[in-house]
Structure 1
Amino acid sequence: MNRAAGDFEVAADGGQPAAVVPGRRGRPRSAAADSAIIEAVLSLIEDGVSIAELSMERIAREAGVGKATVYRRWPGKNALMLDVMRSLDVPSPPAAGLSVRDDLVSLLEFLRHRGLAKRGSALLRTVVSHVRAQPELWAEYHATVIRARHEALLGVLRRGVANGEIRADHDLDTLADLFVGPMLARALLHERTDLPEALPADLVDLVLEGVRPGARPAAATAAG
């Protein structure tokens, strides 16, 4: 196995999967080289190259830099892929706090807009296909990116419970999944399916209709 393949699973010393290391002393890193390398990975994934097919040599060629330049920045592809994912992340806008419904629609619209981006959806599908073999990569991304977005959604739902817009007898993590799940399913399972502009509002209204105070559970409705 060549160096690129081996570094894909573990750090250069054979230990745990590599994390991004701090910059070393000496000549400052070139921001242009960093950007070119990350851009090269994104371009290759867009062209249908799987993570398994990526090598540090191939990435270096695509970026127009030497392989040593890549390894000086990232000890292995796990560390590089984590920075690639982070490069696509844009913090979601803060909730306006005027309406729980409008804040939920705004959060889902942000996800819809990102889901329409070819790079975002392509990377998501590629990473999910790889996560079984590299759970540490997904765990790190979840801890640094996904958790913050989930907490933002939970914050809006908690406010909805506090002001009486949402019933208090539902698990909020489950409710959060009901809002986000359909959009993720389309992005992951239906590659060429667009996310319509009306989808965020439709999802929010559909879920809120079922969890508003006074709404009857389905079982009770059927029994009546």
Structure 2
Amino acid sequence: MSPADPGPRQEAPTRGRPRSEAVERAIIESVMKLLEDGVPLAELSIERIARTAGVGKATIYRRWTGKEDLFVDVMRAAEPPDPELPGTSMRDDLVVLLEALRLRGLAGRTSAILHNVHAQMKSSPNLWAAYHRTVILPRRRLGLEVLRRGQDNGELRTDVDLELLNDIVVGPILVRTVMRPDADLPDDLAERIVDTLLEGLRPGDRAVPPPAAI
């Protein structure tokens, strides 16, 4: 090698402590175990979680700002993952979004963790606000974006109120999972809801007014 040749470039060292997925998973699983053992959320201190996971409190605080942020990740880990949208059409994307919501509803019926935490979240304004901000709102924005694309590409009438329609799309599954927890959630429910709604919302579709009374 000549003096002019500096040789292979050396990679600069990475700054900071890398996040360990194994450590994070151990912490989340420790919270799940405590919840499965019946420990209320209010009694789950960072110190108790750290002791169960076999880590120091500083290890937890390096990854989460507090209990609320940690519990949100625990909820995400217990729920089915967010879906990847096919992007083939508004109809197909809506079916995928609703199917994910249906699966979360089924998981809420069968998972003791989800059932208990959802019930306890209502009494913890900070936890509910964190879950709403980081989980529910992004999912809602995604649904609105799918509907906007549908309007832009001509799949949906341009006079439709998208905020209202978004509520109408998710409403039937929320009713069955929240207000009617014993109601059926069949495999084809997402497709039936979307196809029923879109039947009257495509461009050119208008409700026919009733005949005037004579």
* TM-score of the aligned structures, taking structure 1 as reference length: 0.65
The alpha carbon displacement at 1:221 in A equals: 4.1
CA distance in 1, matches of 2:19, 2:205: 60
The alpha carbon displacement at 1:202 in A equals: 1.1
What code does the residue aligned with 1:65 have? G
What code does the residue aligned with 2:117 have? T
Contact 1:131–1:138 (Cα < 8 Å) also in 2: yes
Equivalent residue in structure 2 for 1:92, among 83, 92, 95: 83
Q: Which residue of 2 aligns with 1:13?
A: none
Q: Tell me if 1:195 matches 2:182.
A: no
Secondary structure of 2:68 counterpart: helix
Structure with more of its chain in helix, by fraction:
1
- Percent identical residues: 45
CA distance in 2, matches of 1:164, 1:126: 41
Say if 1:177 and 1:120 are closer, same or farther in 2 by CA, change over 3 A.
farther
For 1:55-94, what per-residue CA distance to the aligned partner results, in whole angstroms no more than 9, with x for missing partners? 4455456x3526xx24541364223213323445734213
* TM-score of the aligned structures, taking structure 2 as reference length: 0.68
Q: Tell me if 1:185 matches 2:175.
A: yes
Structure of greater Rg: 2
Q: Tell me if 1:161 matches 2:151.
A: yes
Secondary structure of 1:211 counterpart: coil
Q: Which residue of 1 aligns with 2:163?
A: 173
**RMSD of Structure 2 on Structure 1 (CA):** 3.6
The alpha carbon displacement at 1:154 in A equals: 1.6
Q: Tell me if 1:133 matches 2:127.
A: no
Secondary structure of 2:85 counterpart: coil
Q: Which residue of 1 aligns with 2:60?
A: 73
For 1:4-44, what per-residue CA distance to the aligned partner results, in whole angstroms no more than 9, with x for missing partners? xxxxxxxxxxxxxxxxxxxxx77x77644432221122234
Q: Tell me if 1:106 matches 2:96.
A: yes
CA distance in 1, matches of 2:35, 2:129: 21
Task: Name structure 1 gaps, 5 residues minimum.
Answer: 1-24
Moved more, 203-212 or 83-92: 83-92
Q: Tell me if 1:41 matches 2:28.
A: no
CA distance in 1, matches of 2:48, 2:183: 31
What code does the residue aligned with 2:26 have? A
CA distance in 1, matches of 2:141, 2:104: 18
Contact 1:38–1:84 (Cα < 8 Å) also in 2: yes
Structure 1 outlier segments of 4+, above 6 Å? none
Contact 2:78–2:114 (Cα < 8 Å) also in 1: no
The alpha carbon displacement at 1:208 in A equals: 1.5
CA distance in 2, matches of 1:53, 1:81: 13
Q: Which residue of 2 aligns with 1:205?
A: 195
The alpha carbon displacement at 1:172 in A equals: 0.5
Say if 1:128 and 1:64 are closer, same or farther in 2 by CA, change over 3 A.
closer
Moved more, 85-94 or 104-113: 85-94
